[in-house]
C-alpha cells in the first residue's frame, strides 16, 4: 500500500457498513423517478440533494450507534459516458456531477467527527448491471473508465469501488485505470441465483483472472446485488477466498431479470437477512465489509450490523 497516500481503515479487522440500496429507496419509497436508474442528476435539485444527504447522515448515525466503521459511496454508479449520454449529459456535465457527488461525501464526513469513515468514488458497468452484453476487452475497459476515475483523482475520494460488475475484463480495466491515477480500488461482482456471474463464470475464476491481469492491485473484492441464498454454493477453500472481504446483499430473493421487471419493491425480511449475513460472517470471519443493496434500507442495515457483530 506504499503506493497510496490514502487512509484506508476499512482494510483492518473491524466491521465497516456499506450501503448501496439508496437508489431503490429513492425510486420506490420516495417516489422520485430515476431515468436510467441514475441518482446523480438529483444533485441539481437542492431538495433532492438534501434527501441524499439525509440518507448518508442516517447511515452514519446507525454506524455510530452500532460502533462500526462506515463506507460512504457516491451516487455515481452510472455516471459514465455511455449511460450519461442516454440521459442527455455531456462528458463536461458528468465531470461536474462526479465532483459534486464527492464534495457531498466530504461534507457529510466532516460533520461526523471521529466516526471512522472512508469515501468511495463509485464506478459501475458501462452497460446494464445485470448482463454482460457488448463486452469490452481489459484494454478497452481501462480506457473507458479512466475518464471517470481521472475526475475522482482530483477530489478527496479515498478509493474507487467498481460495483455490480458482470465480467472480469471490465473489472480488470477499472483496476488498471485506478492504479494509473494512484487510487486504491475495490471490485464487486454480481451473481445470479446460481452464485455465478451473468457470464456463467465462477466468482473464484473471476477474481483469479482480475488478479492475474492486474498483478493483484485490487485492495479487495466483494459480491453485491445478490441475496445471501444465492451465495450458498459460491464459496470454497482457496487463496482466492481471502481476497473476498464481504457482501452487500439484496433484500429480495428475486433474480436480476425479475428485479428488472418488478414494478413494486420486494424488501424481504430484515431479520432473516441479518441472520443470513451473520451466518456468512460466522463462516468467514474475514468478511468485514457488510451491507445492503437493492430493496434494503436502514432497517435491514441495522439487523445486518447487529447480528454480524455477534456472529
Bind-site residues: 225, 293-294
Tell me which residue of 183, 199, 184 sits closest to 132, measured CA to CA.
Answer: 199
The span from the CA of 311 to the CA of 305, in Å, is 10
Work out whether strand 69-73 and strand 185-189 pair parallel, antiparallel, or are unpaired. Answer: unpaired
Tell me which residue of 13, 96, 110, 15 sits closest to 53, measured CA to CA.
Answer: 110
Helix (H) or strand (E) holding 282, with range, is: helix 270-283
Q: Cell numbers at residue 48, please? A: 433532492
115: which DSSP letter?
A: S
Angstrom CA distances, 150 to 1, 178, 182, stand at 20, 8, 10
Environment class of 261 (CB within 10 Å of its CB; exposed 0-12, middle 13-18, buried 19+)? exposed
Which residue positions form the known binding site for Zn(2+)? 225, 293-294
- Cβ 249 vs Cβ 217: under 8 Å: no
Amino acid at each position: 500500500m506504499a503506493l497510496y497516500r490514502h487512509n484506508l481503515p476499512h482494510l483492518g479487522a473491524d466491521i465497516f457498513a456499506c450501503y448501496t440500496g439508496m437508489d431503490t429507496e429513492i425510486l420506490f419509497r420516495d417516489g422520485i423517478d430515476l431515468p436510467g436508474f441514475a441518482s446523480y442528476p438529483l444533485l441539481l435539485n437542492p431538495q433532492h440533494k438534501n434527501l441524499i444527504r439525509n440518507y448518508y447522515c442516517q447511515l452514519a448515525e446507525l454506524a455510530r450507534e452500532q460502533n462500526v466503521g462506515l463506507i460512504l459511496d457516491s451516487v455515481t454508479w452510472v455516471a459514465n459516458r455511455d449511460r450519461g449520454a442516454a440521459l442527455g449529459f455531456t462528458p463536461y456535465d458528468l465531470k461536474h456531477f462526479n465532483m459534486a457527488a464527492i464534495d457531498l461525501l466530504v461534507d457529510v464526513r466532516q460533520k461526523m467527527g471521529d466516526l471512522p469513515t472512508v469515501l468511495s468514488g463509485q464506478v459501475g458497468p458501462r452497460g446494464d448491471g445485470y448482463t454482460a452484453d457488448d463486452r469490452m476487452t481489459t484494454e478497452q475497459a481501462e480506457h473507458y473508465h479512466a475518464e471517470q476515475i481521472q475526475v475522482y483523482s482530483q477530489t478527496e475520494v479515498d478509493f474507487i469501488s467498481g460495483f455490480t460488475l458482470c465480467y472480469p475484463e471490465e473489472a480488470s480495466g477499472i483496476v488498471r485505470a485506478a492504479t494509473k491515477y494512484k487510487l486504491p480500488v475495490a471490485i464487486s461482482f454480481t451473481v445470479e441465483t446460481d452464485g455465478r456471474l451473468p457470464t456463467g463464470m465462477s466468482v473464484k475464476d473471476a477474481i483469479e483472472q482480475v488478479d492475474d491481469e492486474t498483478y493483484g492491485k485490487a485492495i479487495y473484492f466483494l459480491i453485491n446485488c445478490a441475496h445471501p441464498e444465492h451465495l450458498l454454493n459460491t464459496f470454497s477453500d482457496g487463496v482466492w477466498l481471502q481476497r473476498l472481504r464481504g457482501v452487500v446483499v439484496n433484500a429480495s430473493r428475486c433474480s436480476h431479470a425479475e428485479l428488472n421487471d418488478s414494478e413494486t419493491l420486494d424488501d424481504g425480511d430484515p431479520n432473516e437477512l441479518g441472520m443470513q449475513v451473520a451466518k456468512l460472517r460466522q463462516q468467514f470471519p474475514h468478511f468485514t465489509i457488510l451491507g445492503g443493496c437493492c430493496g434494503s434500507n436502514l432497517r435491514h442495515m441495522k439487523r445486518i450490523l447487529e447480528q454480524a457483530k455477534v456472529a
